[in-house]
Amino acid sequence: MACTAVVLCAMGLLGGTATAAYADPGPGPSPSRGADRGAGDGEGGAKGAGKGADDAELSPGLKRLEDVRKKIDALYRKAEKATDAFNGAKEQVERQQKEIVKLARNIDATQRKLTALKKQAGALASAQYRGGGVPSEAKLMLNADPEGFLDNATLARKGQQAAKTVMHQLARTKGDLEDYSESATDRWEQLDANRKKKESAQRDIKKKIDSAKKLESRLAAKEKDRLKELEDAQAFKEQQKWLDSGVLKDINNKASRTGKKAISYATSQIGKDYVWGAEGPDTFDCSGLTLRAWQAGGTTIPRTSQEQWRQLDRVALKDMRPGDLIIYFSDASHVGMYIGDGAIVHAPRPGRQITITGAGSMPILGVVRPDK
């Protein structure tokens, strides 16, 4: 944390060091910032790397670069939305594969049980055949020995009960087998559909990332540096708006014991590359980082930022504490971990590394807490 404090001071007012890989470029007001629009909304632009100029006041060269920045930003945001869809489909595929394996085992065990019951039913039929096909009730009536009559009555009652039990079990087992087979068929169909979703999302991600990289590759080295400055300036501007709202005066909670472990893990990954769909240990996407960080803290959380938003406990912004997860954008397509003093650690986007940036540099959807 001391190291983090030094980094934050060096950043100056916690201005962002990198914008995130966002999802749908459509605008959406942040619940925590009213009508303020976040970084990458496609409107407003950057202020010339901190020079305070609007788009209309930029030089032609800088205006072109700002347009490129917006296009690249939009492509990466769409790629991250597709990444979330990919991760969700991947989770479903893995879950359905496990369910199919379980069903296959149930089918195998039930089939063996059915075979054994059929043998029992066959043995009963054979016994009746060997008895000449005479019903047991008739044999009882024909027995002149009173003791033999009683013995036969007991045996007949037990035989009838055993036969009924076997036939009942046989019918129920056949029904179970049919149910398991139908469920397995349904799971296979769902698995096939989700595999197709996963493959489609993967193609979509690759297409958008390749397009963004192609745009960036056309820039000269100096232009690439300038592009990074424009990204930083936009993030800094949005963070400054957030800080100017006075939001930090109400946020002074301390991290929990498990939260400290999660923060320690997340901050130790700073400098590692963002790779879509990655969960570590060498590369991460945004939710892959928060997943592993909280696993290191001893808590298992959902894989994707959207599921983290749906399933984890939500807390008010003023009650936020270090270790909590901030979910960004109206579609919950990005996530960062709050580390205190108005900053987050997150995996921004392809082509960038895990870094510390301002918590208000993107439009906040809400805050969730992995531990109680």
Residue tagged active-site, from 3, 9, 168, 286: 286
What does the alpha-carbon distance between residue 55 and residue 143 come to, in Å, rounded to a whole number? 110
Would residue 286 show up in a list of annotated catalytic residues for this protein? yes
Residue tagged active-site, from 3, 9, 168, 346: 346
Q: For 67-95, b where at least 16 C-beta lie within 10 A, e where not — what string?
A: ebbbbbbbbbbbbbbbbbbbbbbbbbbee
What DSSP string describes 266-306? HHHTTTPBB-TT-BSSS-B-HHHHHHHHHHHTT----SSHH
**Most distant CA atoms of the chain, gap in Å:** 120
Amino acid at 283: T
Two structure tokens written together for 326: 């901030």
Show Cβ contacts of residue 364 under 8 Å, excluding neighbours closer than 6 positions. 30, 31, 32, 33, 317, 326, 327, 328
Show Cβ contacts of residue 266 under 8 Å, excluding neighbours closer than 6 positions. 289, 290, 293, 337, 339, 345, 354
Question: Can you tell me whether residue 108 is helix, strand or coil?
Answer: helix
Closest C-alpha among 224, 282, 241, 217 to residue 37: 241
Q: How many CB atoms are closer than 10 A to CB 360?
A: 30
Amino acid at 155: L
Catalytically active residues are: 286, 334, 346
